[in-house]
Structure 1
């Protein structure tokens, strides 16, 4: 028999304070990201548009390289810049200069934004940990706890990419915006007092199954952001290649993003890398269901939508391997699959009565 520990109200209140404090820090990070985009120079951004409108041979700027001639002298050689081939193989386009626009002023605000995002992550993580300590269990027993942990992990994955020198600062603004929305919903509509779990959730599978689901969702979110930006950037590149004139938004924002090919490659790599772990998440849930309810699969709403999400991403990966479905068509499938994940995340718990409803909203 498992004896439930009493709730430590002071730690629970501390957790709430830390979560609200993290929202304040994330808000400052949001404005710093805005400043990075707005104050970054636009004069250096035009090179992307120029590269798109010139022939392929002129699109890559020359790099001076000194070589040795047969007579022992030196000669200046032109080495083309390496660019990324798009998924559809239609064009080669260099990456944009980033949100800062390649300027010192914009980069300064970008560094401030990343620093504030890291601070917000630490404060929110402390809030998640103190919530767990207040009841001495995993901090994802209900939708409020799942949401706060999910946003913490999403920011952590983003910072992990930056730590390993991956150029993903362009995710910062949509990430912080989404995190603020997620925490706003969690603290306003999903909040649940810190309390003990129902007996069915007292299992080590709570740590395994739910933690992997949260991590998978965080990585899939980053893939979805890259996919959405890929669609905008690809449309922009197509318009320029066809001789069109993009609007002010495209000139000030889309030109700074990585090339459509780079965004497409990033989205594919993170989705493909996390797909096996999502498969394990479903299997782990089935094993837990067998222990808790005496059956491994009962077509419960949460089980069904987890499987639908799995099918969606399996279709996306298959589409990427099919010549006629690369590029935009595959991207649409990826966004539909992530939409299924979001419905499984929010919709099933809020709108559908299922065996998973015992955890509360």
Structure 2
């Protein structure tokens, strides 16, 4: 159905504001790195803001190349929530890295984790939209803003693409973390809480991809696994840092 002229104008305004927000967020990450004279990934504030830059940046690329404007609302809501938490709950002053982080593996491991976080979150957001659209289609009540979404089948494919892209990156991130752990602490794996939950996250997404490939678990079941996976990912990032003491507690929040 054709998009009303008012809606098209509102979409252009929204996209322009998103680009502006992305530029400001990117500028903040760069300035944080310049102030610290290091990669700005040393604590929860820095990781979260960097991840939000990649989430929004990835969305903007996909809008231009694949017409994924329907992701705008969940992406901007996620960015607002993430950046809001970063500058309030997780704010810390600029500080030098602790000795354990002085390694090239710091850059490799955290870069992989940040890109994985962006892709996993895009996959989870698409899975949520899939469940909403699927329920509307089953009731025969696809109307209003839901008409602007792709079909449930198309949303399911996009969710799979995001997660399939993120999974090998997360595998690399876990492996790079093991190499970094050997450099910093003299062992590749020690079942530290963050290591354990990183593995749990990996297992959930491995199950997601395996179930889709072998058991035909597409659609609702796959979407639920993807949403659980991203929840576990964020529990590992936030919950473990705040609730559990381990070797990864060196950076505070």
Same fold (TM over 0.5): yes
- Find the structure with the greater CA-based Rg: 1
Cα offset, 1:163, TM superposition: 2.8
Indicate the residue corresponding to 1:297 in structure 2: 189
More strand, by proportion: 1
Cα offset, 1:324, TM superposition: 4.8
Aligned partners of 1:183 and 1:280: how far apart in 2?
26
Indicate the residue corresponding to 1:121 in structure 2: 22
Indicate the residue corresponding to 2:169 in structure 1: 277
Aligned partners of 1:338 and 1:198: how far apart in 2?
28
Q: Number of paired residues?
A: 253
More helix, by proportion: 2
Q: Structure 2 regions of 5+ residues with no counterpart? A: none
Q: Does 1:199 align with 2:99?
A: yes
Determine if contact 2:156/2:218 at 8 Å carries over to the other structure.
no
1:155-211 CA-to-partner distances (Å, cap 9, x unmatched) read: 1111111232x1211111111111111111111111000111111111111111001
Among 183, 186, 190, the residue aligned to 2:83: 183
Indicate the residue corresponding to 1:143 in structure 2: 44
Cα offset, 1:288, TM superposition: 0.1
Indicate the residue corresponding to 2:73 in structure 1: 173
Cα offset, 1:153, TM superposition: 1.2
Among 204, 217, 220, the residue aligned to 2:117: 217
1:280-325 CA-to-partner distances (Å, cap 9, x unmatched) read: 0000000000000000000011111111111000101111123452
TM-score by length of 2: 0.96
Indicate the residue corresponding to 2:160 in structure 1: 268
Indicate the residue corresponding to 2:136 in structure 1: 236
Among 316, 325, 328, the residue aligned to 2:220: 328
Indicate the residue corresponding to 2:54 in structure 1: 153
1:331-361 CA-to-partner distances (Å, cap 9, x unmatched) read: 1111111111111121111111111110111
Aligned partners of 1:160 and 1:355: how far apart in 2?
37
Determine if contact 1:313/1:334 at 8 Å carries over to the other structure.
yes
Structure 1 range deviating more: 319-328 or 344-353: 319-328
How do 1:241-252 and structure 2 match up within 5 A? 246=141, 251-252=143-144
Please give the root-mean-square deviation of Cα atoms over the aligned residues, in Å: 1.3
1:185-243 CA-to-partner distances (Å, cap 9, x unmatched) read: 11111100011111111111111100110111001100000001101111111112xxx
Indicate the residue corresponding to 1:83 in structure 2: none
Aligned partners of 2:146 and 2:211: how far apart in 1?
26
Determine if contact 2:204/2:225 at 8 Å carries over to the other structure.
yes
Q: Structure 1 regions of 5+ residues with no counterpart? A: 1-43, 45-100, 241-245
Aligned partners of 2:93 and 2:103: how far apart in 1?
21
Q: Does 1:342 align with 2:231?
A: no
How do 1:19-168 and structure 2 match up within 5 A? 44=1, 102-164=3-65, 166-168=66-68
Aligned partners of 2:6 and 2:147: how far apart in 1?
18
